[in-house]
Amino acid sequence: MTWEAVIGLEVHAQLRTRSKMFCGCATRFGDRPNANVCAVCTGQPGALPVVNRRAVELGCAAALALGCEVRSASRFARKSYFYPDLPKGFQISQYERPLAEHGRLEFVSGTGERQVGIVRVHLEEDAGRSVHDAAAGRTLVDLSRCGVPLAEIVTAPDLRTPEEASDCLRALRLLLVRIGACDGSLERGSLRCDVNVSVRRAGETALGIRVEVKNLNSYRHVRDALAHEIARQSEALERGEAVRPQTRSWNDAAGRTEVLRDKEEAPDYRYFPEPDLPPLVLEEGFVERVRAELPELPLARRRRFERELGLPPHDAAVLAARGAAADLFEATASLLAASGVESPQRRASGFVLNEVLRDLPDEGAEDGDDARSLVDAGRLAELLRLVADGTISSLAAKEVYRELPASAERPAAIVDRRGLAQRSDAGAIEEAARCVLAEHPDAAARFRGGNARVLGFLVAEVVRRMEGRGNPRMAAETLRRLLEGEGEEGSHG
């Protein structure tokens, strides 16, 4: 029997504001515990909340980037539950009339383009944080996170595999970071993902009973928790048991999900309209202003890289999935184009993809692509011009590049200081080429026998003989001439 998984995500994104959702306390991460609290965010009697305008703008930007319809009047409600890190006894959240609904997110997964519906985007405040101090056998409470603004983004149950779910989360994160709504750190918890998953017999259209797995803080956890949960549920159904609607957590060390509680239903929270806040009414022109300020979104950028800049689909996808590195590519390509270098896009994309991105953290380190750790486009273009005009080899360019991000030195100065300029004198190259051919008669024979790829090896040997500075293009030409010109002679030997 084959089972099909049905998956939907609930993502909490911390909005990048300086102050909290309903008070003036700072949202700074890493301050001393309980440093940023006041009467409002700890729910002292009589304290009144006031909505943070910036949080509304950022939530609205996220909703628009996800293609949602934004309501001009939404409402806040109280979601009541008891938890030690929730001193008010309720969370202010949008419930019946969320900020936005009916959107979609397009993303790439595996080899294909996929789309997931966005059910809603609403604003809410975060709860505090319980810090479990296992060694001392106690739990400490940090209320600084109470009242930090969040956008909750709920997808439709359109996802079918763990990979698709993690690719969808990746695309959502990229989008939120790109528009400046969220810093996107899964590690620090500014982006948190709950997954909802059920299984059903292949071909069935009704939805199965779902389980929610809370607080997955890496792409791998999302995939592993889903794979485990899909196996667990289908095995239960296979045995004729029912799946219980539950809220579970992921135990990464044990590699399994564990029950937290039976699934809570909306009535358990006793939602009711927040009496201390009027409806959130967006002023005339607000939504259009936010829309006008949105940057180009990652998917549009990917398509433009492909269609207008002529990048191969894979390169366009990899670059557009990066923030600052994609900006670097574009700026470098246009500087190269402006100075008349041929194939500016190919030169810039090749270097960014092969060299720049290689040093940048990727999976796991979600804070990668920090513009501060990148070289500036001006110097990268200068470096690639030195390659284009033959001053240095692309091998030397890689060496020069390694020094760039950490210093302000010009590429040309580094080339001079380190003596990396290419040696292009024909006599020296021919001499080195003759030596290499004499040392490697077998390779020479293979080339003459029709194996053209062996030329790459011989070129590298010539360059190496010239202290790594031989001009590889001239070395290749010279080798070819010597090998072809002396072919007769060689074959007699």
Residue holding tokens 């099909």? 4
Residue 468: helix, strand or coil by DSSP? coil
Contact 91, 113 (CB under 8 A): no
Strand partners, 118: 103, 155
Q: By CB under 5 A, is residue 127 in contact with Zn ion? A: no
Residues 98, 128, 149, 157: which binds ligand ADP (CB under 6 A)? 157
Rounded to a whole number of angstroms, the minimum distance from the CB of residue 327 to Mg ion is 35
Q: By CB under 6 A, is residue 257 in contact with ligand ADP? A: no
Binding region for Mg ion (CB under 5 A): 10
- For residue 229, give every residue at least 6 positions away whose Cβ sits within 8 Å of its Cβ, in sequence order, or none: 195, 197, 211, 213, 248, 257
Nearer to ligand ADP, 10 or 252 (CB): 10
- Helical pair 441-448 and 472-485, crossing angle rounded to 10 deg: 70
Residues 156, 227, 260, 294: which binds ligand ADP (CB under 6 A)? 156
- Residue 486: burial class (beta carbons within 10 Å; 0-12, 13-18, 19+): middle
Q: By CB under 6 A, is residue 8 in contact with ligand ADP? A: yes
Nearer to ligand ADP, 190 or 196 (CB): 196
Beta-carbon count within 10 A of 187 CB: 12
The stretch among 20-28, 206-214, 299-307, 333-341 that binds ligand ADP (CB under 6 A) is 206-214
Rounded to a whole number of angstroms, the minimum distance from the CB of residue 468 to ligand ADP is 56
Contact 234, 4 (CB under 8 A): no
Q: Please report, as a single letter, which amino acid is at residue 300.
A: A
DSSP state, 264?
P
Beta-carbon count within 10 A of 280 CB: 18
What's the CA gap between 18 and 29, in Å, rounded? Answer: 11
Query: Which entry of Mg ion, Zn ion, ligand ADP, none binds 25, CB below 5 to 8 A by partner kind?
Result: Zn ion
Nearer to ligand ADP, 6 or 341 (CB): 6
The stretch among 26-34, 191-199, 301-309, 419-427 that binds ligand ADP (CB under 6 A) is 191-199
Nearer to Zn ion, 147 or 208 (CB): 147
Query: Which entry of ligand ADP, Zn ion, Mg ion, none binds 41, CB below 5 to 8 A by partner kind?
Result: Zn ion
Residues 3, 9, 55, 219: which binds ligand ADP (CB under 6 A)? 9
Nearer to Zn ion, 125 or 382 (CB): 125
The contacts found for 421-425 with CB under 8 angstroms, 24 or more apart, are 421/391, 421/392, 421/469, 422/390, 422/391, 422/392, 422/393, 422/396, 422/469, 422/470, 422/471, 423/466, 423/469, 423/470, 423/471, 424/390, 424/471, 424/474
Q: By CB under 5 A, is residue 23 in contact with Zn ion? A: yes
Give how far Cα 41 sits from Cα of 34, 134, 148, Å.
11, 28, 9
Rounded to a whole number of angstroms, the minimum distance from the CB of residue 404 to ligand ADP is 44
What's the CA gap between 411 and 417, in Å, rounded? Answer: 10
Query: Which entry of Mg ion, ligand ADP, Zn ion, none binds 38, CB below 5 to 8 A by partner kind?
Result: Zn ion
Rounded to a whole number of angstroms, the minimum distance from the CB of residue 114 to ligand ADP is 15
Footprint of ligand ADP on 210-239 (CB under 6 A): 210, 212
Rounded to a whole number of angstroms, the minimum distance from the CB of residue 74 to ligand ADP is 16
Interaction site with Zn ion (CB under 5 A): 23, 25, 38, 40-41
Interaction site with ligand ADP (CB under 6 A): 6-10, 154-157, 196-198, 207-208, 210, 212
